[in-house]
Amino acid sequence: MDQGGAQLGRIGRSARGSRIGVLVLASALSAGLPGESSPVELAVGARSPIEVRLDAALKAEALASAEIAALVVGETGETLYARDPDGLRIPASNLKLLTALAALDAFGPTHRFITVIATDRSPDEAGAVGELGIRGGGDPGLNSEDWWRLAADLRRRGLAKVDGDLIVDGSYFDAEYWHPEWGEISSRAFHAPVAGLSANYGAFFVRAGPGARAGDPLRVQIDPPLAYFKAENRGETVGPEAKGSLSVARGQASGLAETVVVSGRLRVGAEPKDYARSVRAPALYAGALFKFQLEAMGIEVTGRVRRGSAKQPVELLRHAGRPLSELVRLFLKYSNNAMAEGLVKAIGAQATGEPGNWPSGLAEVRRRLDALEVLGPGARLVDGSGLAPGSRISPRMLVDALQQGASSFRFGPEYVAALPIGGRDGTLEKRTGVPEDRVRAKTGLLGAQRVMALSGFAERANGETVIFSILVNGYRGGVDEAMRAVDDWVAGLVETP
C-alpha cells in the first residue's frame, strides 16, 4: 500500500451473512490487488498466530476486568479474530461511523446545505436595504471564512447598508441545543450546541498569556474578535517561583453578549495557553460574526442582531455550503460532535418536513441502517455522536457498517477517505502506537465511562486489507495505558503474518 493510501481489496460476505459488495476505495489512494497468500492449515481447535497475538495484547494490565468485544474480518469475509463479536458495548465516538453512513445514504456525497440571505426590499440606488434576514438550512460546517465570503458576495452585488436589524433564523432545527442524555453541559467545545444556524461548529477560541511582570492582569484574546464576547479577566500574572493554574469558563449570555470568564494565575514568561469553548446562543453568534464580516467589507449595519423569522420576500443570496463528503471527512477525522448531531437533525428534517430534532432524526437513521442490514438485535442509538453513554452497538455492527459504506458505489470512496490515517491526520495523528499509514480507523473515548474504541480498516503484513472493531468498556487503568493496549492490539493485527 502506498503512503496515505488504502489497499483495493475484496470483502466477501460477513460472518453474519449480510450482503457485501466489492470494497471500493478511492482510486487515487489505491495500490492494486494483493497477491494471493497460501492457505495455512491448522489443526482442529488450534489458534492462528494472529489470534494468539491479539489475545496477548488484551491481557495488558490496563485492560484487566474490562468488558472487551472485538471482531476482525478478512477480504473474503472469513472471521480472523472474534471475541464476543455480538456483545453490546458503549461505542463512544465509533457511533459516528453509523451516522456518517446514514447521512451519505440519505443525501449523497455531493449534497450541499443552503443558507439564505433575504431582505424586505431590493437595494435602492445607494445600495441600502431594510432589515436583513439569515435563514439557516442546517449547515453544520459554516465557519468564519464562509461568513466572510457571504459578506464579500453581497458587497459585489451592490449592498452598501443594512438600515435595520440582522434577523437570525435557526428554525430549520428545533431549539433543543443539547441532548438530554448528555448530562451536565460544560463550556468545552465538545459540548457545542446543535442548531439550524451556527458558526464555527458552535465554538470559539480563547488565548490567555501572562503579563509583563508579576501582578499584571493576564493578556486575553478571543477568536473571532467579536463584540458578542465580553471577557471577564480575573487572571493574574505571578512570579516565576509561584504555582500557576488557569480556568476558562463560559459565563451567561444576555442579549448580544456572552461572557467569557478567565481566572487563575500564570507565571511570568510562561507560554500562552489556548482553549476551545462553546457558545450558548449559536444563531446569535452566527449573526454577530456575519455583522462583523459585513462591517469589515464596508457595509454599514445600523440595527442589532436578534432572533426572529427570516421570511423576507427578496432573496439576495443562496449560499451552498461544503459538499457532504467534506463535512463527513471533517467530523470523522476530528470527531466533531456538533457536526454529527447536526447531520442527525438534518436527516430528520428531510424525512419529515418538520424542524429537525433528535427523535425524528434518529428514527430515520435507524430505518436506513436497518435497510442496509447493519443493525443487529439490541442495538440502541441515543444520539449521533456517541457522547451519550446510553448507546449500545456491537463490533459486528460496526464491521458491517464499514463494509457497507466502503462497498457503496455512490459514496464508498468518500466514506473510506474520511477516516483518520494512522500517524498522519485527525485523531490518529499522534497515536504513535498505531502503525503509520497502515490503518484507517475511527477513534472513540468516553473518560467517565472508561470507554476506548477503535474501528476501521488495516493492511496486514501479507498485504490483505481487513476490517476490524474493538470496543473496550470499563477498563481500570489510566486512559493512556488503555490507549496503548488498544494500539498494541491493532499493531499486532497489522504486523502478524
**How do residues 411-422 score in pLDDT, each as one tens digit?**
999 999 999 999
Tens digits of residue pLDDT in 23-54: 333 333 333 333 333 444 445 568 999 999 99
Q: Give me the residues paired with residue 264 across strands.
A: 235, 246
pLDDT at position 250? 87
Contact residues for 357 (Cβ-Cβ < 8 A; gap 6+): 173, 174, 176, 345, 348
Closest CA to 497 of 25, 8, 52, 2: 52
CA end-to-end span of the chain: 16
Domains of the chain by residue range: 27-110+324-495, 112-322
pLDDT at position 23? 37
pLDDT at position 44? 52
CA 341 to chain centre: 9
CATH architecture of 112-322: 3-Layer(bba) Sandwich (3.50)
pLDDT at position 257? 84
Tens digits of residue pLDDT in 223-274: 999 999 999 999 999 999 898 899 999 887 666 789 999 999 999 999 999 9
Q: Give me the residues paired with residue 250 across strands.
A: 260
Give start and end residues of each alpha helix (H) in 37-157.
Answer: 49-57, 96-107, 144-156
Q: In whole angstroms, what is the distance from residue 314 CA to residue 95 CA?
A: 41
- Tell me which fold the domain 27-110+324-495 belongs to: Beta-lactamase (3.40.710)
Closest CA to 49 of 460, 468, 396, 463: 460
Tally of CB atoms within 10 A around 406 = 27
pLDDT at position 45? 63
Q: Which residues are catalytic?
A: 93, 96, 335
Phi, psi of 388 (to 5 degrees): -75, 130
Task: Take residue 48 and report the three cell numbers written for it.
Answer: 492462528
Q: Give me the residues paired with residue 393 across strands.
A: 89
Residue-wise DSSP of 340-351: HHHHHHHHHHHH
pLDDT at position 244? 85
Q: For the chain, count helices (H), then strands (E).
A: 10, 19
pLDDT at position 43? 52
**437 conformational bin, left if phi > 0, alpha if psi -120 to 50, beta if neither:** left
Specify whether the CB–CB gap between 170 and 310 falls below 8 A.
no
Q: Give me the residues paired with residue 235 across strands.
A: 264
Specify whether the CB–CB gap between 63 and 475 falls below 8 A.
yes
Per-residue pLDDT of the chain (497 residues; tens, 9 = 90+): 333 333 323 343 344 443 333 333 333 333 333 333 344 444 556 899 999 999 999 999 999 999 999 999 999 999 999 999 999 999 999 999 999 999 999 999 999 999 999 999 999 999 999 999 999 999 999 999 999 999 999 999 999 999 999 999 999 999 999 999 999 999 999 999 999 999 999 999 999 999 999 999 999 999 999 999 999 999 999 999 898 899 999 887 666 789 999 999 999 999 999 999 999 999 999 999 999 999 999 999 999 999 999 999 999 999 999 999 999 999 999 999 999 999 999 999 999 999 999 999 999 999 999 999 999 999 999 999 999 999 999 999 999 999 999 999 999 999 999 999 999 999 999 999 999 999 999 999 999 999 999 999 999 999 999 999 999 999 998 999 999 999 999 999 999 98
